[in-house]
Structure 1
Amino acid sequence: MESLTRANGLFALDLYRALSVSNAEGNVFFSPLSLSAALGMVYLGARGHTSEEMAKVLYFSSVSDVHSHFKTLTSSINRPSASYILKLANRLYGEKTFSFLREYLDSTLKLYHAELQAVDFIGASEKSRQLINEWVERQTDDKIKDLLQPKIVTKSTRLVLVNVIHFKGKWMQPFEEKDTKEMPFKINQNESRPVEMMYQSDIFPFRSIPEYELQVLKLTYEKEELSMLILLPNETQDGSDPLLKLESELTLDKLLDWTKREKMPRPMEIRVYLPKFKLEIESSLPETLQEMGMSSVFQETKADLTGMSSSQDGLYMSAVVHKACVDVNEEGTEAWAVSALTNPVGYLSLQQRQSFIADHPFMFFIRHNTTNSILFLGRFRGPS
């Protein structure tokens, strides 16, 4: 499963960069695992050049038996816990008159726990769209509504793949509401906006990485199965954008090294200042994925999805909609995302106190520690 975790991590950073370029000044938040799983279901039915393109973009070429690994990963993530909610769910919606291969349907059910629900896209596309949206609402406890907007589902739609991931966890060391104060958040050298800044002083896993002018803080959720890791670049004196510099230098190997458990012990009291924030970001991804190299699957005349159906009509993906939300507060974090696809460090002593003041743009990600999987990835450039 390590090879799949690495592949998903490489894809996560590639997509993060692509989304950052298209939204240079804004916040970014998405679930790379949600997208990888949804695209994995498409890859299961892809053949020929379409399969090759998807494998390259998703880094599946280096993973033997991708789909069995996804099954193991999903089972690991969906283990019940009394301390947090973490659920990954998949569903297929297929046109009732369209002939899908039994082998494909059996495989998606076995490997992705994704049942196919037959719907009438041809005769009742709007009703089918509402049906899908209602399922998404139920899976996210009514947090994500109207995922599929009008006209995304039409009478020519043949297949919609939906993946949902929902996380809600409490900090192992919660913040006190009485310590939250309004403070300025520096959007850039010339602009600040007020944020509700949470505060606490406690012992946390922390690293300062001078060669990259970076601080890394780990905030753990109850039971320590999940963590939020925050990458806070040092402010610059020359007016340049420190987050932009970090993003350009970041690789998966650096990220893994910077956040290794053995390199982030707990010898130090940290004064943590972290904004309360909510993000809700919707992304339409066909153009981004095509620019990354996954082009034929979106073209009616070039897509080879003959592993899904032997029909002469030809299947292709017409849309990839991804909506992700996160709410970070004193108690903990709630995050949810949905993807719909149609057609060497010197340690300071405990006596020294270090401040971690996230009052300027930073990257963050939520990790499933057991599998080392990045569930959510984003950046906070300030309140909108």
Structure 2
Amino acid sequence: MGPARLWLLGAGILASVHCQPFSALEGKSLGVPQVHSFQVSDPAPAYHKITPVITDFALRLYKQLATGTTGNIFFSPVSLSASLALLSLGTQADTQTQILEGLGFNLTETPEADIHRGFRSLVHTLGLPSPKLELKVGTSLFLDKQLQPRQMFLDTLRELYGALAFSANFTDAAATGRQLSDYARRQTYGRVADCLQGATPDSLLVLLNYIFFKAKWKHPFNRYQTQKQGTFFAGERTPVRIPMMHQKEMHRFLYDPEAACTVLQIEYSGNAQALLVLPDPGRMEQVEAALRPETLRKWGRLLLPSLLDLHLPRFSISGTYNLDEILPHMGLANVFSLDAGLWGITGQLDQIISRVTHKATVDMNERGTEAGAVSGLLSPPRSLNTTSAPQTHFNRPFLVLLWEVTTQSLLFLGKVINPAAG
């Protein structure tokens, strides 16, 4: 039998666990970073050290995905970055450094222990109960029953990432594939399913990270004002029919002539926001080239309230990616070779990661969103005259960034090329 395979699977969304936990097994100590207990009263929450890096990673990954597809794009930067950071705990030193630096961390400025402490702080904060926002993040590890994972590794996963481990039988690849898909479906309220394809009998481990986001608009759209057969131009001469929501409402808004786009921020009733970026006709590539962390910060400073006559498509799209061909271009080459040294997980040397699969979905409608990111050149907001609110018509491809406000986490990032494509 060839080298054992490990799958890293990022998906969207959570419910209840219906599996029996993997029994604790004895193992040798693992050299993992010592991380002090998370304290809610910390003057500067630990997640502040990692959320800007996650945003930068998201924008770099988006540009890689955009060069390889002409269709819709949608993924979760938080899900993927947490999965990769967690995985680094089980690799040898060189690969561990490569993963963390590939994510964008400067290990001189941010030591490894601070990175993992930051992810623990982030997962903890995102999981805090909120009456107006459903947001849950979790990680599960499925190991073949023949493996004997190191107890120190399991304890570290649980302590830092709240991760649970479960036993699986990869000898029956088809049955295990169904088991994992059913698990993902349950954990994502049915939003994400069939996310693991092609498992083989020599697969021994799957790391599954899931995130669920559901929020209602602060100012919902009236469904009776939705145009059932609105027109959306998926290409220059490719009109598609799609329900087009409509409202006249106050939103934070700006036009950036340098990037040639309109930027709209819509608030949810919970602690979350959607940032929608509408390029001028034919200027999507120009906007994508300008998509950098400093651009997002600039927009955030200069968005101002304006009364808008807003037209926005109702849509549901998804993205499914095998990232093993993309991540090596982002500095993560060793992860997919024997050089990864996954000794830290099971104490075995012949394990490799064969695939990194990620699937995410989003549904945006009249009620809200469900999803299983130079200052002087910016135009000021238009007049607040209630009789002539400027039209903002999202009838051509646009970008979607979904944010959690407290942590400033870019939860999801995507591009809507064709809202009717699903």
Q: 1:350 aligns with which of 384, 409, 418?
A: 384
Aligned to 1:145: 193
Q: Which amino acid aligns with 1:43?
A: S
Task: Tell me the distance in 1 between the aligned counterparts of 2:391 and 2:335.
Answer: 48
CA contact (8 A) 1:204 1:270 kept: yes
Task: Tell me the distance in 2 between the aligned counterparts of 1:360 and 1:81.
Answer: 34
Matched, 1:329 2:375: no
Shift, 1:321, TM fit? 1.3
Q: What stretches of structure 2 of length at least 5 have no aligned partner?
A: 1-46
CA contact (8 A) 1:50 1:305 kept: no
State, as a whole percentage, how many aligned pairs show the same letter: 31
| 1:351-366 aligned within 5 A | 351=385, 353-366=389-402
Q: 1:259 aligns with which of 292, 296, 300?
A: 300
Task: Tell me the distance in 2 between the aligned counterparts of 1:211 and 1:146.
Answer: 42
TM-score normalized by the length of structure 1: 0.90
Task: Tell me the distance in 2 between the aligned counterparts of 1:113 and 1:60.
Answer: 22
Aligned to 2:6: none
Q: 1:28 aligns with which of 60, 68, 73?
A: 73
Aligned to 2:4: none
Aligned to 1:49: 94
Task: Tell me the distance in 1 between the aligned counterparts of 2:163 and 2:402.
Answer: 24
Q: 1:13 aligns with which of 40, 43, 59?
A: 59
Aligned to 1:215: 262
The 3-state SS of whatever aligns with 1:22 is coil
CA contact (8 A) 1:216 1:259 kept: no
Task: Tell me the distance in 2 between the aligned counterparts of 1:59 and 1:39.
Answer: 12
Aligned to 2:148: 99
Task: Tell me the distance in 1 between the aligned counterparts of 2:401 and 2:246.
Answer: 20
- Could you say if the C-alpha distance between residues 174 and 290 of structure 1 is closer, same or farther in structure 2, counting changes exceeding 3 Å? same
Task: Tell me the distance in 2 between the aligned counterparts of 1:88 and 1:14.
Answer: 23
1:38-90 Cα offsets, whole Å, 9 max, x none, are: 11111122223322321222113353321111111011111112222111111
Q: How many residue pairs end up in the alignment?
A: 362
Matched, 1:129 2:177: yes
1:155-178 Cα offsets, whole Å, 9 max, x none, are: 222211001111111111011111
Matched, 1:250 2:291: yes
Task: Tell me the distance in 1 between the aligned counterparts of 2:381 and 2:309.
Answer: 16
CA contact (8 A) 1:200 1:271 kept: yes
Shift, 1:361, TM fit? 1.0
- CA-atom RMSD in angstroms: 1.7
Q: 1:303 aligns with which of 327, 340, 352?
A: 340
Shift, 1:347, TM fit? 4.0
Task: Tell me the distance in 1 between the aligned counterparts of 2:184 and 2:416.
Answer: 26
Shift, 1:292, TM fit? 2.1
CA contact (8 A) 2:195 2:359 kept: yes
Task: Tell me the distance in 2 between the aligned counterparts of 1:276 and 1:132.
Answer: 30
CA contact (8 A) 2:310 2:393 kept: yes
Task: Tell me the distance in 2 between the aligned counterparts of 1:192 and 1:131.
Answer: 40
Aligned to 1:194: 241
TM-score normalized by the length of structure 2: 0.82
Q: 1:70 aligns with which of 106, 110, 119?
A: 119
- Once the two structures are overlaid, the 10-residue window that deviates more, 87-96 or 44-53, is 44-53
CA contact (8 A) 1:29 1:279 kept: yes
Q: Which amino acid aligns with 2:184?
A: V
Q: Which portions of structure 1, spanning 4 or more consecutive aligned residues, are displaced by more than 6 angstroms?
A: none
CA contact (8 A) 1:50 1:303 kept: yes
